[in-house]
Amino acid sequence: MENNWGIAIHGGAENKSRDELSDSKQAAYEQGLENALMAGWHILNDGGSAVDAVEAAVRSMENNPLFNAGRGGSLSKDESNEFDACIMDGKTMQAGAVAGVKHVKNPITVAKTIMQESKHVLICGTGAEDFARDHDLPFKAEEYFKTEEKEKALKEAKKEEETVGKDTVGAVALDKTGNLAAATSTGGLVNQYQGRVGDTPIIGSGTYANNDVCAVSCTGDGEGIMRANTAHEVYAHMKYKGLSLQEASKAAMTLYKDRIDGDRNFIAMDPKGNVEFSFETSLMFRACKKGDAPMYVAVWPDDEDNWEKEG
């Protein structure tokens, strides 16, 4: 196991051209990915758990206004922020999740605390915030979460009468003792109806982990991912069809495409440390580091040239 441990993260998937993402903005995203990746990797390197590693990586992205999770999250129709998050421990198959929280600084940490300190799995809205207060977790004022970029995006979305945005963040990890974990966090869609919940906090939909098979974190069209149960489908194709992680990932991306619209994008890791970055969009912000191997940070599909998926 010493050589297989590692962590992979995603910072969302979008349909943007290279002309729409400036060099400076791409560099900022890559730096944000590196910071998040190393926050999790250092925990693993020191012998820490996969659960702690994915929480740390996701929390780093929640603190970065570039990513649509925590600070800088998308604004709902009523101009408020609403956050969903989930974490799952592949060893115990315990999980914790929150939906529709507005003021907690790090939704992923609330989800982890629910998993560890509560008999519940998913707590929503004010109940989740009461739970966070009971456990002395940090809160922030509304102004902390709002950015000029996201306010502009909401105005444009209202003008076009549409909902947009796919930048959920997530992480999967395998620690030195062979345990898998997955975590996902999101600010939802721009101009979504207040109270809308996507795939992120739904176990088996946007997040899933089981030591025997794989860990998965999704990003993309939340309604489609929820209906397709995408994260669990990766697991099911491996568990019941005996497919490899790569084969199962391809199958999960296309299952029921004739009936379920929307792109499905995700990262996945198996007990051998193999990693898959699966995305249908024109880009995915992503990164990985296995053991002491060089770090991999990428945005565009052709950035795969220096990435060895299997082995």
- Catalytic positions are 168
Query: Cα–Cα distance between 108 and 100 in angstroms, integer?
Result: 13
Query: Which H or E run includes 251?
Result: helix 245-254
What is the DSSP code (8-state) at residue 139?
B
Token pair listed for 246: 């790569």
Query: Cα–Cα distance between 193 and 104 in angstroms, integer?
Result: 20
Angle formed at CA 37 by CA 35 and CA 39, multiple of 5 degrees: 70
Query: Cα–Cα distance between 259 and 144 in angstroms, integer?
Result: 40
CB 7 within 8 A of CB 53: yes
Helix, coil or strand: residue 155:
helix
What angle do the packed helices 107-117 and 125-134 form, to 10 degrees? 70
Token pair listed for 72: 């800088």
Alpha carbon 294 to its chain's center: 22
CB 123 within 8 A of CB 227: no
Query: Cα–Cα distance between 219 and 203 in angstroms, integer?
Result: 14
Residue 124, strand partner residues:
99
